[in-house]
Chains A and B, each alone.
Chain A
Amino acid sequence: GAVVSQHPSRVICKSGTSVKIECRSLDFQATTMFWYRQFPKKSLMLMATSNEGSKATYEQGVEKDKFLINHASLTLSTLTVTSAHPEDSSFYICSARSGGRQTEAFFGQGTRLTVV
């Protein structure tokens, strides 16, 4: 299957700093990528849809200025958590689909963010 690589897998940062997470599709072009947040023992909550060459579409309740998304190319999307606070600590996962609406979504390995 297609490969989606996410980096870093773990990051610890201080409150008030910003953290950038990268999501790359290694063997296919992804015009659309998705960013999820997952709390312990909880489901995957969609944060935003990342569109190549245009602004991301955010889900209701997600702060656009807090979670900056850039989809710079057909293989790279980045999520920047700005002015991080301890409550931003979570597991963040990206995904991408290589085909249309009825095709599998491939996930990155996730990033465990801890804000201290």
Chain B
Amino acid sequence: GENVEQHPSTLSVQEGDSAVIKCTYSDSASNYFPWYKQELGKRPQLIIDIRSNVGEKKDQRIAVTLNKTAKHFSLHITETQPEDSAVYFCAASGGLRGQKVTFGTGTKLQVIP
């Protein structure tokens, strides 16, 4: 089945700096890669996603890149703000597991004011 690895597990950055979170996946047939933000005790919320037919997608301060050959994708947050502090999960879907979404292990991001 699909295996999604995520690094780092924790990340601290100064407000205004950039944050980068990286993930790798194992199922080459996976074709949908969402990123979720989860605040403590709350539900995960989609912040950006990318499909396998594109290599990069950007939405204001957030961008995601996908390298299908290497089977890795990354989340980039620029000009970080304290409200960006949360746990971020990458995920992969499609492929052999169909609709099932396999999540990475999560990255706890702390933005220091």
Cα–Cα distance between A110 and B43 once the two chains are bound (Å): 6
Q: How many residues of B contact A (CB 8 A)?
A: 24
Main secondary structure of the interface of B (DSSP, over half): strand
Any chain B CB within 8 A of the CB of A109?
A: yes
Q: How many residues of A contact B (CB 8 A)?
A: 24
- CB contact between B100 and one of A1, A49, A107 (< 8 Å): that residue: A49
- CB contact between B101 and one of A41, A95, A100, A108 (< 8 Å): that residue: A95
Q: Are B94 and A101 in contact (CB under 8 A)?
A: yes
Within A72-100, which residues are at the interface with B (CB < 8 Å)? 93, 95, 97, 100
One digit per residue, 1 when the CB lies within 8 angstroms of any chain B CB and 0 when it does not, for chain A 29-58 equals 000101000000111101001000000000
Q: State the B residues within 8 Å of A (CB).
A: 31-32, 34, 41-46, 49, 51, 89, 93-94, 98-106, 108
A75 to chain B, nearest CB (A): 17
- CB contact between A34 and one of B34, B41, B100, B108 (< 8 Å): that residue: B100
How many CB-defined contacts (below 8 Å) exist between A and B? 56
Cα–Cα distance between A107 and B46 once the two chains are bound (Å): 9
Contact residues in B for A49 (Cβ distance below 8 Å): 99-100
Q: Are B93 and A101 in contact (CB under 8 A)?
A: yes
Cα–Cα distance between A109 and B41 once the two chains are bound (Å): 9
Q: Assuming A32-B99, A101-B93, what are 7 further A-B pairs, CB within 8 angstroms?
A: A43-B104, A100-B99, A101-B98, A106-B46, A109-B43, A110-B41, A112-B41
Any chain B CB within 8 A of the CB of A63?
A: no
